[in-house]
């Protein structure tokens, strides 16, 4: 415990017990990190946390999954869109860490936004597409707190947007 009464991460979790899986071994290809589309930056690092800007369901700038869940897309397609957002987040994280994903301690929080019809109620199932990828890549350190909400619209009418916070060394 620190002087301020905070519990040190290693006291709770023990020494770092994971290494990210080699993306090639997992047959995962990352897109190129996207450039900001307005007046913001793709990530902010403060202390040992990296806050990643929300990423859309796009591949190298090509928007995919245009439309709403519950109208154009079902849960499985929404999960694919969320996974694509997570691939973009990992690409941005790798850029923030100068190419070294081994510096990731854990995924802290994920927030997912699902462009959906008012009657679509499976937002959390859709965002599992992102959560599952983080666990696949980072093991137990990929488990995180999360929120998943339905929204009436997203930029460019994409189906899903996901943002994340990572603890790093």
DSSP state letters, 68-104: -BTTTB-HHHHHHHHHHHHHHHHHHHHHHTTT-GGGE
* 40, part of any domain: no
Q: What sections of the chain are H helices per DSSP?
A: 9-13, 75-96, 123-138
Assign residue 84 the CATH number of its domain.
3.30.1330.40
Taking the model in full, what pTM does it have?
A: 0.88
**Other Cβ atoms closer than 10 A to 43:** 18
Task: Identify the bridge partners of residue 52 per DSSP, sorted by sequence position.
Answer: 43, 164
- Cα separation of 76 and 82, whole Å? 10
Specify if 155 maps to a domain: yes
- Give domain status of residue 149, yes or no: yes
Domain that holds residue 151: 53-168
Residue 20 to residue 24: CA distance in whole angstroms: 11
Q: Is residue 44 part of a domain?
A: no
Give me the pLDDT at residue 24, please: 87
Q: In whole angstroms, give the CA distance from residue 157 to residue 113.
A: 12
Please report whether residue 33 resides in a domain: no
Output the pLDDT for position 36. 93
Residue 33: closest CA among 54, 61, 57? 61
Beta strand 104-115 with 145-151 is parallel
- Asked whether residue 32 is domain-assigned, the answer is no
Radius of gyration of the chain (CA): 16
Q: Is the residue at 132 inside a domain?
A: yes
Residue 75 lies in a domain: yes
Domain count, the chain: 1
Burial category of 18 from C-beta neighbours within 10 Å (exposed 0-12, middle 13-18, buried 19 and up): middle
**pLDDT of the chain, 169 residues: tens digit per residue:** 334 444 344 444 444 444 566 888 899 999 999 999 899 999 999 999 999 999 999 999 999 999 999 999 999 999 999 999 999 999 999 999 999 999 999 999 999 999 999 999 999 999 999 999 999 999 999 999 999 999 999 999 999 999 999 999 9
């Amino acid at each position: 415990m620190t002087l301020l009464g905070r519990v040190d991460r290693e006291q709770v979790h023990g020494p770092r017990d994971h290494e990210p899986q080699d993306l090639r071994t997992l047959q995962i290809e990352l897109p190129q990190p996207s450039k900001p589309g307005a007046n913001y930056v793709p990530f902010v690092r403060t202390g040992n946390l990296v806050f990643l800007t929300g990423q859309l369901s796009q591949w190298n700038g090509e928007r995919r999954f245009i439309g709403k869940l519950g109208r154009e897309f079902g849960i499985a397609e929404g999960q694919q869109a969320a996974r694509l957002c997570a691939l973009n987040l990992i690409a941005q994280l790798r850029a923030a860490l100068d190419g070294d994903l081994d510096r990731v301690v854990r995924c802290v929080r994920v927030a997912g936004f699902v462009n959906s019809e008012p009657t679509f109620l499976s937002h959390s199932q859709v965002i599992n597409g992102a959560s599952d990828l983080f666990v696949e890549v980072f093991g137990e350190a990929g488990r995180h707190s999360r929120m998943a909400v339905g929204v009436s619209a997203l930029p460019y009418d994409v189906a899903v947007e996901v943002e994340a916070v990572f603890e790093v060394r």
